[in-house]
Structures are given as C-alpha cells and as structure tokens.
Amino acid sequence: MRRIPSFPALRAFEAAARLGSFARASAELHLTPSAVSHQIRALERWFGRPLFRRANRQATLTAEGQRLLAGLTHAFDALEAVCAELGPPPPSSLAVHCTPSFAAKWLGPRLPAFVEAHPGIAIRLSTSADPVDLGRHEEIDVLIAYGRPPRGPGVTVESLGPEEIAALCTPEVARAVGPGGVGRFTRLDSSFSPVRWPDWFAHNGLPIPTDPGGPAFDRGSLVISAAVQGLGVALETLRFADGELGAGQLVRLGHGRVASLYRDLHFICYRDRDGALEKIRAFRSWLLDVEADSRAGRPETSA
C-alpha cells in the first residue's frame, strides 16, 4: 500500500503553488478558496510541517513547500503525458471561410451532417464578403471563394460545379407578370453577383430595360428574402434558394419561356502544401458530394 496523502489535497497544493494564489487555484479546480485552503491545511497536518508562510494575507512557499512542488510538477507532468498517449487524440481544427450568404443559405444547414460524420474535426467557420488571400491569412485552412477564383502560386482552386442562376419570384408575382410579359417586372439587384440582369436579358434575346430597376442588396440571401416577400424578381443562384423552391415560396419566372444562366461561382481553395492533410481531404470530399446531391435533387419548378 502506497503511503501518500490524498490526491485531491496534493492537487490543490500543486495548483496553488504553481499559480501563486489560492483564488486562482480555486478557479482552475472549480472549488471555493475555502475548500482549497482546507485541503492544503490537511496536507500540512499530514506532513507535520507548514508548506506556506501566511502573512499579511499573502502565502509564500516554505523550503519544504518548494521541494514538494518540484516533485509534484515532475509527477503531474508524467501523469499528463501518459494520459495524453492513452486518451483519444484531440479534435483537429479546420478553419473554413466563406461569404455570409453561402454560410447562411447552403453550408450552415448542412454542417451538422459533416460534424456527425467527422467527430474528430472541429469546424471553425468565419464569413465576410471581402476577397481573402490564403497566402496572407494563415489562420484559414479552407476558403470557399465566390465570383472569381483567386489567382496565385501555391493555392489549389476547384469549382464546386456550375450553378443555375434563374429569375425567381413568388407564384403570385409570376402570375401577375404573366407568361408573355417577362420583360415587365420589378428587378431585385444583387450588388456583388457577377451575373447581372443585362446578362439574363441578352441571354434570352430580350431588350434590356433602360429604367433603373428595383431595390439593390449587398447579400444574395437578402435578395432571396426580398423575393419571398413579393418585392420583385431576384436573379440569383439556386444554391441560395433550394429551400424556398422546395417549399413553393419561389418559382422560376416565365413558364419555361426563358432560360437560366449557368456559371461556376463558388470555388473551394486551399494551400497546395495542405492538400494531403486528412481534414482537408475529408472536407473537400464531403463538400463536393453534398453539392452534387443538392444539384441532383434541385426542383425544376417554373411558373
């Protein structure tokens, strides 16, 4: 039988001595300062000598306390090392950056499936509408770029596949416009989209309106929301409108009399040197598979 004092008392002493404060030790151990103090006094009684000098509300280690701390530091370091070897590996962190609309309308709703399939990868998601240079932002592992793919050495860029950009509106707005009046409707503008209304009119052989159009928004998700509210017709990627199309809140304008445009707008990007990392490979594979499934299941509703 080993002749050593209680482990909680040793742990309380080691924390207080290492941190230089009973209060900080109590916070680390999730105990009250009084409980830490009682455990250390019990340890001092077991040794029959003081381990701290207490004066003017300060506590400093005695020579015996310093000797005990040195031994416990070595022992606790060894315990921590062997527990780390035997325990499960810590989660691998994967920092993903994308636009706010892609996060809100596409990636966010699907991320729980990735987390469930890959519990060892902890996703850290950040968003902004500004271009990101992976060469200057080492804190980002994967960038999902929008619009134009980034250029530069040392970066792998892969399209998520062509996406349909369609004129979308509520069934009520579609009926009001009518099948023969596709040129007369309130156009909702998405400021950052590389596909503009003149592109759509030219693609369909229709005259380009000269009026200024309707409201403009700086997020694709906001344009979709405005279309759902009946404010007009959105020209947006169906990646951002899957849910609204499936629920019948939005339809493609024109009774099939007008054509959508197809563009590669989203790109998965990562540093060449990181391509063999398992977390990058797992996320890339999952992303491409889920997007392929989403595209295959996308409704063809028009009005």
> What pLDDT is stored for residue 298 in this prediction?
58
Assign a CATH topology to domain 92-303: D-Maltodextrin-Binding Protein; domain 2 (3.40.190)
Q: For the chain, what are the domain ranges? A: 7-86, 92-303
| Strand partners of residue 168 | 234, 252
Burial class (CB in 10 A: 0-12, 13-18, 19+), 259: middle
* Range 101-121 burial, b when 16+ CB lie within 10 A, else e: bbbbbbbeeebeebeeebeeb
> 219, 100 in Cβ contact below 8 A?
yes
Quick check: 284 pLDDT over 70? yes
The CATH number fitting domain 7-86, selected from 3.30.930.10, 3.10.129.10, 1.10.10.10, 3.40.30.10: 1.10.10.10
133-190 pLDDT per residue, tens = 898 889 999 999 999 888 888 999 999 999 999 999 999 999 988 765 566 899 999 8
| Token output for 38 | 């009682």
211-231 pLDDT per residue, tens = 877 899 989 999 999 999 999
82-94 pLDDT per residue, tens = 887 787 656 689 9
Q: Which of 184, 186, 167 is nearest to 231 (CA)?
A: 186
Quick check: 240 pLDDT over 60? yes
State the pTM of this model: 0.68
